[in-house]
Amino acid sequence: MTKSDLIKKLQQKFKTYPYRDMYQAVNIIFDSMTDALAKEGRIEIRGFGNFTVRTRKPRLGRNPKSGTKVELKERKVPFFKTGKELKLMVDNKK
């Protein structure tokens, strides 16, 4: 599902709100999540999962196209851990 698919689905469910309002609501939610992670916060959505920021150590990587070695500096990356309920739903056990 893409962001536009999500907006369309919300607009179909809440027909009293125009598409542009749904677009704005989804953008506000995603912007808030991005801001929280940028401040190294944690986002917990019960039954779905947790978003956190992890630090990756510097290492030597490889350019897949040319095969040359590339030095990768320390960086922060978002990490998602699936919630128990979501795991069960995906596995068709609930």
| pLDDT tens-place string over residues 74-84 | 999 999 999 99
Distance CA(42)–CA(33), nearest Å, equals 9
Identify the pLDDT of residue 94.
62
**Which helix (DSSP H) or strand (DSSP E) does residue 36 occupy?**
helix 19-38
For residue 94, the domain's CATH number is: 4.10.520.10
Yes or no: say if 9 and 2 are a contact pair by the CB < 8 Å rule.
no
Identify whether residues 83 and 54 lie together within a single domain: yes
- Is the model's pTM score more than 0.85? no
Q: Which domain holds residue 73?
A: 45-94
Residue 92 pLDDT level (bands cut at 50, 70, 90): confident
Identify the pLDDT of residue 41.
85
Identify whether residues 50 and 84 lie together within a single domain: yes
In the chain, what percentage of residues exceed pLDDT 90? 93
Distance CA(69)–CA(88), nearest Å, equals 41
Distance CA(94)–CA(20), nearest Å, equals 35
25-52 mean pLDDT: 94
Identify whether residues 53 and 86 lie together within a single domain: yes
